[in-house]
Amino acid sequence: MSAIDTRHISRDSLFFLAEVRVGGEISPDRIKVRNLSSGGMMAEGGPKVERGANIGVHLRNIGWVEGTVAWVHETRFGIAFGQEIDPAVARGTEQKNGYEIPRFVRPSSILPPGTEYEPRNLRKL
C-alpha cells in the first residue's frame, strides 16, 4: 500500500516515548511517537533506520507491534504495522481489561459528568 493510499486513515496526534526493536535487538534509544493510526505511526529520534527495515515498537497498553519502516526523513520515520491496532487503547482513552482509565488521561471538561451546559452556572474569570 503506498503512502497516498493511506492518507485517508484517521490519525491521533500525540506524544509519548516507546521502546523500539531493530534487527531483533532492543535499542537503548527510545523513539517519540508523534502520531498513531490503526495501520501505522510516525516516530522521531531513536536509532538510525532504513526504509524497508523490519522494526518492532512497544506501545503502551498494547505491547510489541511489528512493522516495516515505510519512509525516512531526517530524524523522523514512518512505520507500517503488520497488523491493525486500536490507537485509542495506546492513547489510554478507553477501558482496558475492565479497569477504569485514570482521570488524568481522559479528555478534560469543565463540567462534572452528567451536568448539562447552562451559561448561568459558569463563572467569568
DSSP state of 123: P
What pLDDT is stored for residue 57 in this prediction? 95
Please name the helix (run of DSSP H) or strand (run of DSSP E) that holds residue 40, with its range, or none.
strand 40-44
What pLDDT is stored for residue 60 in this prediction? 85
Q: C-alpha cell of 75?
A: 530524524
Write out pLDDT tens, residues 3-22: 445 554 556 567 788 999 99
Place of cell 536509532: 47
Write out pLDDT tens, residues 18-51: 999 998 899 999 999 999 999 999 999 999 999 9
**What topology is assigned to 3-99 in CATH?**
Thrombin, subunit H (2.40.10)
Kindly tell me the burial class for residue 52, based on how many C-beta atoms sit within 10 Å of its own C-beta (0-12, 13-18, 19 or more). Answer: exposed
